[in-house]
Structure 1
């Protein structure tokens, strides 16, 4: 079955569920992003059948689905391992989060059994009231691993002795959860600084966005990301004249469009990518683009003729992607101070010297 047929099949399957789940899915943009994944689709079904609702955000869907998934497996499967059986639901979530974080930091999507058992051993020792002898802790970790494999299709043995989370997005979600729940460094500020330092690697982008959505307040993280972006682009000297021109141009278009949206649009044109951030920042730009505005077409044509070297385009692409992390972090943040959000949006795609004056306060 090809990809298009699979999507049609899944929409058909959803439409047979009670309370018109198909309609609810189609009107929920966040959920549309995950319906192509069988495991996440199963979680969507579990959540809907228990609550008759679809959580409004991806993080809330993951959280609700994970709790239901763990609870149902506890009731339907025989758990022979006493250590895992005695763990609370929060401890089981904590174990999966800790494993996700440790393996993510180590750069491992596929983890050897010995390494995985070491992660589990450290977690068991962390939550144990009494001291556990190393030999006994290792045996416990082996039993716990067998229980996880038997119960949860979230985590499985891909080849003999090699384990991985079944879905990358769940690996990312649980790693971000480990940050928020405190399974990383001693202080969360230390963890957030570590996370932002890793954003030079694209594999950390989703962790940054998910962490912003899960934090009680995302101000500190998003300001750190903004400062990371400013430092990154300030070091790219060959692009400074363009960015200064772009700053001046964005404020001289007679209030036709939001300046930050206009700057985003110009960069999107140069990179010849979908006008995603710009359209989200300004509905009028989105409307004019859909209407094939002559003004926007002329701007796009002129910008696409500009001579940027391949290396400059690569830098612009990374700059755009880092800014996307900041933008999506703002859009998904559960709690963000309004004045900080407004300043972060206004200073998107500005040269560092024109950019945010926000200070980081832990």
Structure 2
């Protein structure tokens, strides 16, 4: 597709647009398509506007497959406002049918999947045209309303690509980026427990960072948020090789593996099938190895200190004989986990048992993923003022009172 230019566009939406242009031109030429009269009269922009209307209307409703009547209604609604359009709605019917057939036969952007059931030929096209509808309105009021509506979908995974495409299409993304930031902050704003958690993350980041850079502190807040919610660190942050961060990542890995180990031990006792029993044993072995290697890694990073001595003493309690591992963990495991957690809280201010419910954890994960999306949008090929970029990046993962 890009043989003629030799280069891929950096901008996501430009990449899609260039690919679409090539597809439309070459498909028609190679297949010697005879265009329907109604479709032939429409300019390239009008055709793309029509496809954008269909894409957005169906994508918004989560309709990846839609009936012929629905598509024809969208076509009718659009072409009735074009110059030289027939006044009588009934007279438009043949044109609507011809246009749909032309769209399908000319370039295959919309295809018939089953009798009377249509879809875009690829999700990429559906997302691109839906994004185009949001971003290309000439009326500022309409565009702002569309962007305001868009950000309400920020936690829905299926809208992720649309956000990334829209920021690449807008001439200036300041308004959208600020809307996204406000929407993300509101996800946790009314929950007291969440706000305490964010306050802890803020304090922890300040205690760890050797830099006073607001951007660096913000990145570390994100690391500890991820560490606490998922028990693993963000690779982009941990790769900075800050000793404090590596220590905390190792401790969290050990605690998470120990908790999983205790759970899998209980599960193993309840498993009756041979296959299930073997699978449970395999998980136990992985957990054993993770606990051992994570504690060793942490000890290697610590200088001689009360914490290093206490952790080494706790590590020495772990059995070295493989034959006695299960029995020891069944009898001593919960107490060992409690001691590890106490050491982590006392010396590192991590490992707190926040007692989040499944619903609360799901909300926190949505918040984290939404921040990742915002981060990716800011670092994509989009135009945003330096002030807005910095203000957003420096205030991620802050409690509500600090964000004001």
TM over 0.5: yes
**Structure 2: how far apart are the matches of 1:198 and 1:333?**
22
* Alignment check: 8 A CA contact 1:79 1:85 kept: no
Equivalent pair of 1:71/1:89 in contact (CA under 8 Å): no
TM-score (norm 1): 0.76
If the length of structure 2 is used for normalisation, what is the TM-score? 0.69
Do residues 67 (structure 1) and 21 (structure 2) align? yes
- Contact 1:196/1:228 (CA < 8 Å) preserved in 2? yes
1:199-236 deviations in Å (ceiling 9; x for gaps): 35333233222211210000001101111112221022
Matches within 5 A, 1:140-159: 140-159=95-114
The within-5 A match list for 1:43-62 is 46=1, 48-62=2-16
Q: 1:259 aligns with which of 183, 203, 217?
A: 217
Q: In the superposition, relative to structure 1, how do residues 118 and 130 fare at CA in structure 2: closer, same or farther (>3 Å)?
A: closer
Aligned residue runs from structure 1 range 1-362, under 5 A:
46=1, 48-76=2-30, 77-130=32-85, 132-182=87-137, 187-255=142-210, 258-272=216-230, 279=236, 285-288=238-241, 293-294=246-247, 296-298=249-251, 301=255, 306=353, 307-355=355-403, 357=404
Cα distance in 2, alignment partners of residues 184 and 157 from structure 1: 34
C-alpha contact 1:272 1:304 (8 A) present in aligned 2: no
Q: Using a 3 Å threshold, how does the CA distance of structure 1 residues 113 and 211 change in structure 2: closer, same or farther?
A: same
What's the CA shift string for 1:119-157, capped at 9, x where partnerless? Answer: 111221233355542122222111111111112233211
- Cα distance in 2 for partners of 1:63, 1:232 equals 34
Q: What SS is found at the alignment partner of 1:268?
A: helix
**Larger RCO (CA under 8 A, 6+ residues apart):** 2
Pair 1:53–1:333, CA change in 2 (3 A)? closer
Q: CA deviation at 1:351?
A: 1.1
| Native 8 Å contact 1:113 1:162 kept in 2 | yes
Displacement of 1:255: 2.4
For residues 220 and 74 of structure 2, the distance between their equivalents in structure 1, rounded to whole angstroms, comes to 47
- CA–CA distance in structure 2, aligned partners of residues 275 and 156 of structure 1: 44
TM-superposed deviation, 1:176 = 0.7
1:102 & 1:108 partners in 2: Cα distance? Answer: 8
- Give the paired residue count: 304
Unaligned runs of 5+ in 1: 1-45, 358-362
Larger Rg: 2
SS at match of 2:112: strand
CA RMSD across the alignment:
2.7
